[in-house]
Structure 1
Amino acid sequence: MALVIQEVTKRYQNFVAVDNLSFTIEKGEIFGLIGQNGAGKTTTFRMILDLQETTAGTISWNGESIHAIDRDLLGYLPEERGIFPTMTVEDQLYFFGELRGRKKKELKEDVNYWIERFELEEKRKAKAETLSKGNQQKVQLIASFIHKPEFLILDEPFSGLDPVNKDLLKEAILFLKENGTTILFSSHQMENVEELCDHLCLLKRGVSLFSGSLLDLKKQYGKTKLTVRTDMAIEELTALPGVKDVTIGKEQYTLTLEDESYAKGIFDIVSKGDYIEKFSLDYLSLDEIFKDKVGGGNV
């Protein structure tokens, strides 16, 4: 176990931002912390970083209190971005690396590697204020891990990135994981959490609604999402046993079932014992589960 949060509470006078929170992150894994705005994610990050005291509970890294560890073991990309506007891309990365304990000559290889990997070679000598929002974000992301932290917190790292740069970032996150970095990240884009994380914690108003593996969370709901391509009318599908809801997609229907036991009977009816072009039963997506757990609203 790398990071252990045990029964942590953060109270501000009469407001409880985090309420008796516990979860564990294993060394070298990517762990997702998800929830609506105001759920307590940023407060949790700040307590892990020792920027705020816990009201109750403990946080430890490799069995040692978070208060006692070398701060250079940690990296952090905050949701509120902030880089020096008049400093060049290259100087920016050297500055943050040296600030976190590495010497300039030690940084050269890594600075060059990440500038090239993030397609910033032509912007190496450009001032940050002249960069696009996406390129500014790439610079700040590199700055968060250029010192090679053991534990990295990424708060909304995909915000504002186009699909190409999102893929660059995902590849970088997986590269860091493969090289031993333990990563905790938050994103409102559930497909990114689903793609990258094996384990996660779902927060609502400071309380953990679930902590564990993504597969275990999906198994709580079962395989209740049925996609089918058929000539049957929506009224006929809605009337089938065990069907709670039917939505129309492009040349197909998605049925929400009461539970997966109804799927076989529906298959027999829809296929009529013959070939059927599409009949697929699956778990709900993390996005669908998230909306159900937190009750919809602004995610």
Structure 2
Amino acid sequence: MTSLAVEASKLVKRFEGQRAVDGIDLAVPEGAIYGVLGPNGAGKTTTLRTLLGIIEPDGGWRKVLGEDRPMRAAPRIGYLPEERGLYPSMQAKEAIAFLGALRGMTLADGRRRAGELLEEAGLGEAATKTIRQLSKGMAQTVQLLGTIVHRPKLLVLDEPFSGLDAINQQRLEGLIRAQVAEGSTVLFSTHVIAHAERLCERISVIAKGRVRFDGTVAEARGRLPSRVHLTTRAGDGPWRAALPADSIADGRNFDFALPEGGIEPVLEALIAGGAGIESLAIERPSLHDAFVDLVGEPVPQPEPGEVQP
């Protein structure tokens, strides 16, 4: 049985009588990249902060790295909050070392490790630059390096890709994968589904403080049938009776859910009826499609420059 890095049961947090977190269950396996997905205001940030012990729950329980009092595990955790914060006049290398010192490292060890991390991230030339001299993406990368400088066993990232261009986004994804390869567990929140589809093994979808889905990305996508996109040379004929009743027709183009019996019986009827198949494609549902089905509202569009899966 896989050990859990983070677990919670019936977690509740209220603000002014309203449940921001409403009975959430969560189980994050050790060594996984686990995504908490949801629209803005879904309760993702409050859930993460409650799990980490930054705020106390009003009900339920949670355990982090084996500790039922999460603050005891703090030295083994790296946390990147949604609100970024670095001292503008501090040099990048010093900022990383300072964040390491807050987790128990000596400044000497922190500076040595900071230099290594900056070189690995392709930012070696930025080591002596102040934070205010860096681009937004570079400063955000520096803060992430400060989050991992002490080699945490658990990395918790709240909307880590917010505002990053494609290059810095890919750099961040590489850093996340590298941490897992070294034995860390990653738990991150996002409202942009493409990130989770690229990175995550397991996800939870949260809406209005409740978990709507928990499982693998493949399981989420498997909730919906694949779609068939068909173009015929003939516009009409008896062969149309072979198409599912819910088919959407646009001239000679047809769109319908893949029948439970597969596409073969439909193909046989189309060929026998002389439909003339010009093109046929079967499209698996994306995580985006599954998210809309689960949450019942449109997914936020990716920010400019973001890479799509």
TM-score (norm 2): 0.84
> In the alignment, which residue of structure 1 is the partner of 2:66?
63
* Count of aligned residue pairs for this structure pair: 294
Report the residue type matching 2:255 in the other structure. L
SS in 2 for 1:220: coil
Cα 1:100–1:30 change in 2 (3 A) is same
In the superposition, relative to structure 1, how do residues 231 and 169 fare at CA in structure 2: closer, same or farther (>3 Å)? farther
Cα pair distance change 1:11/1:114, threshold 3 Å: same
Moved more, 260-269 or 55-64: 260-269
1:157-186 Cα distance to aligned partner (Å, 9 max, x none): 112222222111111111101111111111
* Residue of structure 2 in register with 1:195 after alignment: 198
Structure 2 residue corresponding to 1:211, chosen from 210, 214, 218: 214
Superimposed CA distance per residue, residues 46-91 of structure 1 (whole angstroms, 9 cap, x where no aligned partner): 1112111101000102432034623111111111111111111111
Which of 3, 26, 40 lines up with 2:6 in the alignment? 3
Letter in 2 for 1:98: A
User: Quick check: 1:5–1:22 contact (8 Å CA) kept in 2?
Assistant: yes
SS of structure 1 residue aligned to 2:22: strand
Structure-2 residue corresponding to 1:137: 140
Q: More displaced, 1-10 or 255-264?
A: 255-264
Which runs of structure 2 are paired with 1:84-103 in the superposition (5 Å)? 84-103=87-106
For 1:125 and 1:68, the matched residues in 2 are separated by 33
1:26 Cα deviation after fit? 0.7
Q: Which runs of 5+ in 2 are unaligned?
A: 301-309
1:138 is paired with a residue whose SS is helix
Residue 226 of structure 2 corresponds to which residue in structure 1?
Answer: 224
TM norm structure 1: 0.87
Relative distance call for 1:212 and 1:48 in structure 2 (3 A) is same
Q: For residue 296 of structure 1, what is the amino acid of its counterpart?
A: E
Q: 1:153, 1:58 → 2: CA distance?
A: 18
Which deviates more, 67-76 or 84-93? 67-76
Equivalent residue number for residue 35 of structure 1: 38
Give the letter for the 2:33 counterpart: I
| Aligned amino acid, residue 143 of structure 1 | G
Alignment pair present for 1:295 and 2:299: no
Aligned-residue offset at 1:239: 9.4
In the alignment, residue 204 of structure 1 is paired with which amino acid?
A
Verify: 1:150 aligned to 2:165, yes or no. Answer: no
Q: Distance in 2 between matches of 1:131 and 1:228?
A: 51
Percent same amino acid at aligned positions?
31
Q: Matches of 1:246 and 1:171 in 2, distance apart? A: 43
Deviations 1:92-144 (A, max 9, x none): 11111111111133234431222122221222111111211111111111111
Displaced runs of 4 or more, over 6 A: 236-239, 271-277
The one-letter amino acid of 1:27's match is E
Q: Does 1:264 align with 2:267?
A: no
Aligned counterparts of 1:81 and 1:254: Cα–Cα separation in 2? 48
Corresponding position of 1:115 = 118
RMSD: 3.0
Q: 2:21 aligns with which of 11, 18, 26?
A: 18
The answer (yes or no) to whether the contact 1:238–1:246 under 8 Å persists in 2 is: no
Query: Structure 1 residues 271, 239: closer, same or farther in 2, change over 3 A?
Result: closer
Gapped runs of 5+ residues in structure 1?
A: none
Residue of structure 1 aligned with 2:179, choices 172, 176, 180: 176
3-state SS of paired residue (1:65): coil
Q: Tell me, yes or no, if the aligned pair for 1:149 and 1:181 is still in contact at 8 Å.
A: yes
Q: Does structure 1 retain, via aligned residues, the 8 Å contact 2:288–2:299?
A: no
Shift of 1:188: 2.2
**Aligned-partner Cα distance in 2 for 1:284–1:275:** 26
Q: In 2, Cα distance between the equivalents of 1:68 and 1:124?
A: 31
CA distance in 1, matches of 2:281, 2:169: 29
